[in-house]
Amino acid sequence: MKKKCFVQIFVPNFFLLLFAISCIVPFLIVVSISITDETIINQFGFSIIPRIISFKSYEMLFAAPKVIVNAYMITIIVTVVGTVLSMFVMIQFAYVLARRSYIFRKQLSFFLYFTMLFNGGLVPWYILITKYLSLKDNLWALILPMLVNAWNVFLLRTFFQGVPVSLIEAAKIDGASEYQVLYKIICPLSTGGIATVCIFTVLVYWNDWYNNMLFINDSRLYSLQYMLYNVMSRVQFLQLANAAGTSTSMQIPQESLRMATCVVAAGPMIMIFPFFQRYFVKGITIGSVKG
Amino acid sequence: MKQERLGGNRFVEQLQLSTMALPAVILILIFSYIPMFGLIIAFKNYKVNLGILGSEFVGLKNFMFFFHSNDAFRIIRNTLCYNAVFITVGVVFSVSFAIMLSTITQKKLIKFYQSSMFLPYFLSWVVVAYMSLCFFNYKDGILNGILKALRQNAVSWYSEPKYWPFILVISYLWKTAGYNVLIYYAAIISIDEVLYEAAYIDGCTKFKSIWHITIPNIRPTVVILVILSIGRIFYADFGLFYQLTQNSGSLYSVTDVVDTYVYRTLRVTGDVGVSAAVGFVQSIVGFALQMTTNFVVGRIDEDYKLI
């Protein structure tokens, strides 16, 4: 093993640690504010370490969790339905594009690829969905437009092409249908790629607020992210506070309640993500080698 | 006889494959191709009750309106400049951190650094906007707290444009660098260790071997990623410019980009024609850039060409 001098160890570790901390600290600050007593915030402003800890804002949130539970339900429904459908559609399409013997393979590849080069822009897309498909205030508006992601389809195709053709041929000779080849042979051999694309897709649906903002007016259909976005503005915040039964003279812990909402909305994803990271890291490194 | 049966199987196979592709093809047709025809809205005075075809044709009026307004220069400048800075600063930052990460030998440390750098990538811009609120809030924000402690005047961050170019660049780096570091890191660790051993025996210092071995070896990855992002230089990250700035009107001079402008003219001002015209320009310029960059990528390395 080569000997390393002090500087060679210290310098990279120093910068990496600095960056790593800067990535974690903002979230810790949000958590810290959410458990700080409101009078302290009014007096001293936000601080990284809470001076006096108070769980009042969480108590308020969980006393009447209707708004948050509802937003969670919407997000979970959209994410689950969206991801399942999306994976189904994309896996099949990617398989077809990966099959060299398919006669329209070239044409369909271009058909998909062209959507990455050119699009109609926001306005025609918006008018199509709201006016012609009448999906305003409909959860399908949050699911359908994002089902096929060209980049992910190509990523899956790259993974599928890695499976030896002889396996497919052998199965075909034994009388397997294309569906059987895909779901019995290709998919079990491409779990890494499928897991990566699956996580990407979950992430996109879970974090979506843009389509909500465009297509949803009914506050009962607000997703988690969009609810959170609205809590930042005052009106929606008061609704949340009122739902928590604070029409009495009790003082609303404004800032800490807001940050507590953020923690409750974003926390679970942050807790879950390290478990998926392994697949993710593998997937994008393989996918990026050949785009 | 045998030939015929094979032909029959062939047909069944092609039919099955076509059926499998059908759902995706229909979805792409509806959500990607039909809107392309909607681009004609850019040449019309669109009225909801008249529909796309029924609305009055006005030629280039919507384009003239946009290019004669003060907004045109501003949003195009902002979009291009921010993206240019994001690309250059992003590459330098990500590559240097990837190199630093590659010098770490302890598995646990690598994992810790990777996980924490990657955390922001998993957050939505809404959550990031909350985090920035902790820093920039006028009354309680941490930055103003520090300023007060230093006996300086508090700054009203959400109405002072001059700070925002820096804030936006830093936030963008913060959120996306982890992902790019990971890609470059993967490229670095796939470099053959033998090269470094040889350089070491020849008396090469660590810095020299980074310069002469690491950098040349990851250059193709860097070039490809840069060219791909140049192809998207006319598209801005809507969440960054809309959420982080709290969509504050007094910041528009430095935060308004094509995507936020298109959104605002469509949903707030309700000027559908102008919005479609700007979207039209974005699509056409974006298409030209994509084609050019794809051509350039093809010249550099056939393997990296998208099709």
Among B24, B118, B263, whose Cβ lies nearest the Cβ of A148? B24
| CATH number of the domain encompassing residue B208 | 1.10.3720.10
- Domain assignment present for B234: yes
- Domain assignment present for B7: no
Among B39, B145, B282, whose Cβ lies nearest the Cβ of A124? B39
- Domain assignment present for A57: no
Q: If you average pLDDT over residues A55-60, what whole number do you get?
A: 82
Among A24, A26, A116, whose Cβ lies nearest the Cβ of B134? A26
- Domain assignment present for A277: no
Domain count, chain A: 1
Taking the C-alpha atoms of residue A87 and residue A206, their distance in angstroms, rounded to an integer, is 15
Residue that has been written with the tokens 């444009």 in this structure: B161
- Rounded to 10 deg, the angle between the B164-189 and B215-230 helix axes is 130
The confidence score (pLDDT) of residue B83 equals 96
Range of the domain at B206: 57-304
Q: How high is the ipTM of this complex?
A: 0.88
Q: If you average pLDDT over residues B228-252, what whole number do you get?
A: 90
Q: Is the pLDDT of residue A280 over 80?
A: no
Flag if A120 and B306 touch (Cβ within 8 Å).
no
| CATH number of the domain encompassing residue A139 | 1.10.3720.10
The confidence score (pLDDT) of residue B306 equals 53
Range of the domain at A126: 65-232
- Domain assignment present for A16: no
Q: Is the pLDDT of residue A254 over 60?
A: yes
Q: If you average pLDDT over residues A250-258, what whole number do you get?
A: 73
- Among the residue ranges A97-106, A245-254, B154-163, the one predicted with the least confidence is A245-254
The two three-digit tokens of residue A243, written as one number:
């739902």
The confidence score (pLDDT) of residue B259 equals 94
- Among the residue ranges A147-151, A286-290, B53-57, the one predicted with the least confidence is A286-290
Residue that has been written with the tokens 């393989």 in this structure: A286
DSSP annotation of A184 reads: I
- Domain assignment present for A185: yes
- Domain assignment present for B249: yes
B74-126 pLDDT tens trace: 999 999 999 999 999 999 999 999 999 998 888 899 889 988 898 898 899 99
DSSP SS3 for A179: helix
- Domain assignment present for B109: yes
The confidence score (pLDDT) of residue A235 equals 54
Domain count, chain B: 1
Banded pLDDT at B207 (limits 50, 70, 90)? confident
- Domain assignment present for A245: no
Residue B134 · residue A263 · CB < 8 Å: no
Taking the C-alpha atoms of residue B45 and residue B272, their distance in angstroms, rounded to an integer, is 8
Taking the C-alpha atoms of residue B125 and residue B115, their distance in angstroms, rounded to an integer, is 19
The confidence score (pLDDT) of residue A249 equals 41
A76-132 pLDDT tens trace: 999 999 999 999 999 999 999 999 889 999 999 999 999 988 888 899 999 999 989
What sign for the dihedral angle of Cα A67, A69, A73, A79? positive
Q: Is the pLDDT of residue A282 over 70?
A: no
Which region, left, alpha or beta, applies to residue B271 given φ > 0 means left and ψ of -120 to 50 means alpha? beta
- Domain assignment present for A45: no
- Domain assignment present for A242: no
Flag if A116 and B306 touch (Cβ within 8 Å).
yes
Whole-structure pTM value? 0.89
Q: If you average pLDDT over residues A158-165, what whole number do you get?
A: 89
**CA closest to A151 among chain B residues:** B306
**Nearest-CA distance A93 → chain B (Å):** 5
- Domain assignment present for B24: no
Residue that has been written with the tokens 């059926």 in this structure: B19
- Domain assignment present for B67: yes
Q: Flag whether residue A12 sits within 8 Å of chain B, measured between CB atoms.
A: yes
Residue B257 · residue B82 · CB < 8 Å: yes
Flag if B133 and A270 touch (Cβ within 8 Å).
no
- Domain assignment present for B111: yes
DSSP A101-165: T-TTHHHHHHHHHHHHH----HHHHHHIIIIIS--TT-THHHHGGGS--HHHHHHHHHHHHTS-H
The confidence score (pLDDT) of residue A248 equals 45
Interface probe with B: pick from A32, A122, A169, most Cβ of B within 10 Å: A122
The confidence score (pLDDT) of residue B246 equals 87
Banded pLDDT at B21 (limits 50, 70, 90)? very high
DSSP B126-156: HHHHHHHHHHH-TTT-HHHHHHHHTT-----
